[in-house]
């Protein structure tokens, strides 16, 4: 069983990978980005530029309780828009939730779609956009470039420091019947506008801050070693890795310090721009399966798996791990790549320890009996196609076992 390689990876050097003559043609997708403390105030004007009259706001109860939705709705109404609110999103958004949201979107005759919250809210918003103009069920769009008809304009406003959904071409949905996560990927899913206001990060629970920060770190590392890496994405990937390494702990120790939150907001944004253009790898392909099976926090699962995947991938592209380790502040100049990768894996594990992430998947509820199923399902995930080292079911199962 295998996964079809996305065009960006299959095309080789013409998509930006380096060869002896240098990089080829690079396509870099990114939304309009509005970044900075207080930037939520721009939401009404931004929605207006997208042609909104009755914007559809997708969020969750936690963001409402934090007060950010009321502020957003006020900015939308200030420019005479008539927003419609849908807030029944749960972590790891479910297929049935997206179907229900789309039904309300259609009944309200809404237009521009706005997601405010973490990755779950933004993925749910993307799911609504897909269904609004493409016939079929949300699960029908799993894979690469299955969304073929134009979708409504989208604006995303992240409240966490890691998912990157506000700038990415990914939409992750839980198939509740099969208990797996599906990956929907395509350029159509890159939002039109991303608004990152670091103030929103200050109301995250500590555990969510840790999880999403590790997610951003994983995005940076996986996109840098991806088969589809390119020079433009590389810059953002390395910068994101350095920012997470330098500031995630600080946000746990001093959660109300704006400077730390702003750096983590930037890390999330840059990691998102890196992975949407270079795609990801085995950590995400595997993490999606654990999240689908157990409804486990995505970033936490990434934090457990990432050191093990680094060790596995180091045999394929050892030299790429030297730059990554250097970005984390490790003294690796002149060191063989596999040694640098081992130091990087250890550094990632130390960071995960410091922010309270479990050391093994067993603590999240994964059992030995789950591993064969998780491994087989991983092979179907689009993220595995750009992992730098090929993997069969037995390889993936071995990584899962090491991470137990």
For the stretch 298-346, pLDDT in tens is 999 999 999 999 999 999 999 999 999 999 999 999 999 999 999 999 9
Task: With cut-offs at 50, 70 and 90, classify the pLDDT of residue 23.
Answer: low
Helix (H, G, I), strand (E, B) or coil at 144: strand
Cβ distance 16 to 229 under 8 Å?
yes
Lowest-pLDDT range of 23-32, 123-132, 134-143: 23-32
pLDDT reading at 22 higher than 60: no
Cβ distance 228 to 8 under 8 Å?
yes
Task: With cut-offs at 50, 70 and 90, classify the pLDDT of residue 392.
Answer: very high
pLDDT reading at 9 higher than 80: no
CATH 1.20.1630.10 is held by the domain 205-403: no
Q: What is the pLDDT of residue 368?
A: 97
Fold of 32-200: Rossmann fold (3.40.50)
Tokens of 58: 């997708």
Q: What is the pTM of this model?
A: 0.92
Q: 12 in the Ramachandran plot: left (φ > 0), alpha (ψ -120 to 50) or beta? A: left
Residue ranges of the chain assigned to CATH 1.20.1090.10: 205-403
What would the pLDDT profile of 254-264 be if each residue is shown by its tens digit?
999 999 999 99
Q: Give the pLDDT mean for 365-372.
A: 97
Alpha helix locations (H) across 230-297? 231-253, 258-278, 282-294
Residue among 392, 396, 380, 385 nearest 228 (CA) = 385
Q: Give, as one character, the DSSP assignment of residue 364.
A: G
Alpha carbon distances (Å) from 342 to 251, 332, 374: 26, 11, 25
Q: What is the pLDDT of residue 19?
A: 43
Separation CA 276–CA 279 (nearest Å): 5
């Amino acid at each position: 069983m295998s996964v079809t390689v996305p065009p960006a990876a299959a095309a080789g050097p013409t998509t930006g990978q380096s060869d002896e003559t240098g990089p080829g043609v690079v396509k870099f997708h990114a939304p309009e980005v509005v970044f900075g403390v207080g930037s939520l105030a721009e939401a009404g004007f931004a929605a207006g530029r997208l042609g909104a009259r009755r914007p559809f706001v997708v969020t969750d109860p936690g963001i409402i309780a934090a007060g950010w939705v009321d502020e957003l709705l006020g900015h939308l109404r200030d420019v005479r828009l008539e927003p419609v609110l849908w807030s029944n999103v749960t972590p790891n958004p479910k297929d049935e939730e997206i179907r229900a949201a789309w039904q309300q979107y259609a009944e309200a005759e809404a237009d521009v779609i706005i997601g405010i919250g973490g990755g779950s809210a933004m993925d749910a918003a993307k799911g609504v956009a897909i269904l609004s103009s493409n016939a079929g069920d949300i699960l029908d769009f799993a894979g690469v470039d299955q969304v073929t008809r134009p979708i409504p304009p989208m604006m995303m406003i992240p409240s966490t420091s890691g998912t990157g959904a506000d700038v990415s071409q990914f939409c992750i949905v839980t198939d509740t019947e099969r208990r797996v996560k599906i990956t929907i990927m395509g350029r159509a899913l890159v939002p039109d506008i991303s608004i990152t206001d670091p103030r929103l990060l200050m109301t995250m629970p500590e555990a969510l801050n840790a999880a999403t920060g590790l997610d951003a770190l994983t995005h940076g590392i996986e996109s840098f070693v991806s088969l589809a890496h390119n020079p433009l994405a590389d810059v953002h990937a390395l910068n994101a890795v350095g920012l997470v390494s330098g500031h995630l702990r600080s946000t746990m120790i001093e959660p109300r310090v704006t400077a730390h939150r702003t750096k983590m907001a930037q890390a999330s944004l840059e990691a998102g721009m890196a992975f949407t253009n270079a795609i990801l790898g085995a950590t995400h392909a595997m993490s999606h399966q654990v999240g689908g099976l157990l409804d486990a926090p995505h970033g936490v699962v990434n934090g457990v798996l990432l050191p093990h995947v680094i060790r596995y991938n180091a045999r394929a592209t050892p030299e790429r791990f030297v730059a990554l380790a250097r970005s984390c502040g490790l003294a690796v100049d002149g060191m063989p790549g596999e040694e640098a990768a081992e130091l990087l894996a250890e550094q990632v594990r130390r960071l995960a320890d410091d922010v309270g992430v479990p050391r093994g998947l067993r603590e999240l509820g994964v059992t030995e009996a789950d591993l064969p199923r998780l491994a087989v399902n991983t092979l179907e995930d689009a993220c595995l196609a750009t992992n730098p080292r090929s993997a069969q079911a037995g390889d993936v199962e071995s990584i899962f076992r090491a991470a137990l």
